[in-house]
Structure 1
Amino acid sequence: MKCPFCGHAETQVVETRLSEDSGFVRRRRRCSACDKRFTTYERPEVSFPMVVKKDGRRIEYDPAKLRASLALALRKRPVSTEQVDAATERIEEKLLNLAAREVPTHQLGELVMRELKKLDKVAYVRFASVYRSFEDIDDFKTLVDEVR
């Protein structure tokens, strides 16, 4: 690590601490040339796959869109924010574990449906009815029968 004061390339780690939420590591460092101390923060760089839309466009994964989709399906349902946060984390973990550069929207949609099915059956049916673009009432009835 380069010293921000004198630019010397060699520094020593004096102290290391994990953050409260373990999202990053805080390190106190000392420059071996000028003897000044400074703090660095290290956090992992996470790269989500690109999302491939049905029309072939590629867009960046947006966690806000995922959260908004879940919130819309779960609107006025008895599901806590903590449960939604946990579901979001599980979906994102599965995306990262795929280790793919791209993920089609249908695969992302299936991950969301799996989580919604565990959280709330009504939210699952809401999301699935829009996601699967039901054409008639029989498609909807089949889904409801599947949930029962």
Structure 2
Amino acid sequence: MRCPFCSHAETQVVETRVAEDGDFIRRRRQCGGCEKRFTTYERPDVNFPTIVKKDGRRIEYERAKLLASMNLALRKRPVSTEQIDGAVERIEEKLLMLGVRELPSSRIGELVMRELKKLDKVAYVRFASVYRSFEDVDEFKTVVDEIRR
């Protein structure tokens, strides 16, 4: 494993932990060159469905894109990284359990909205306003009323 700071080829595992749900292994490493520490995650390599965009394009699933969209909605909200990682893990688990080769992007959007609704109501409204392309205030009000119930 190369050091992300100085690209030194030798790093040492300082600590290893299995995640609470057992789905991945977290390793703390220390660089043999600059002595900085960093974390790596070890996950099984699985095949996620191909994502079919609204315009018909097909793209590979990317965890980083999912995480980025959730982080954008959760920006400056009191939600921990562990909670976000847990939500992403649940979404990915559902994607794998579907057992399909292709999946419309709208289905992933719905899964994200379901997780955000549990994590933070403000983030849910933020994501919904972009995802559902609100055209006027009434649509926004409908989502807020939905949350209040």
Report if TM-score (shorter chain) is over 0.5. yes
Q: How does 1:45-56 map to 2 (within 5 A)?
A: 45-56=45-56
Which residue of the partner structure matches residue 136 of structure 1? 136
Q: 1:108, 1:140 → 2: CA distance? A: 21
Please state whether the residue corresponding to 2:51 is helix, strand or coil. strand
**How much does 1:45 deviate?**
3.3
**How much does 1:20 deviate?**
4.6
Which residue of the partner structure matches residue 80 of structure 1? 80
- Whose Rg is larger? 1
Q: Are residues 44 and 78 of structure 1, via their aligned partners in 2, closer, same or farther at CA, if it must alter by over 3 Å? A: closer
Q: 2:83, 2:44 → 1: CA distance? A: 24
Alignment length (residue pairs): 112
Which residue of the partner structure matches residue 93 of structure 1? 93
Q: 1:103, 1:62 → 2: CA distance? A: 13
Q: How does 1:1-148 map to 2 (within 5 A)?
A: 20-21=17-18, 23=24, 44-148=44-148
Q: 2:99, 2:121 → 1: CA distance? A: 30
Q: 2:17, 2:81 → 1: CA distance? A: 20
Identity %: 73
**Normalised by the size of structure 1, how large is the TM-score?**
0.72
RMSD of the alignment, in Å? Answer: 1.6
**How much does 1:44 deviate?**
4.1
Please state whether the residue corresponding to 1:126 is helix, strand or coil. helix
The residue identity in structure 2 corresponding to 1:113 is M
**Normalised by the size of structure 2, how large is the TM-score?**
0.71
Q: Are residues 143 and 63 of structure 1, via their aligned partners in 2, closer, same or farther at CA, if it must alter by over 3 Å? A: same
Q: 1:51, 1:77 → 2: CA distance? A: 28
What are the superposed Cα offsets for residues 22-80 of structure 1, whole Å, 9 maximum, x if unpaired? 658xxxxxxxxxxxxxxxxxx74300000000000000000000000010000000000
- Structure 1 segments, 4+ long, off by >6 Å, are none
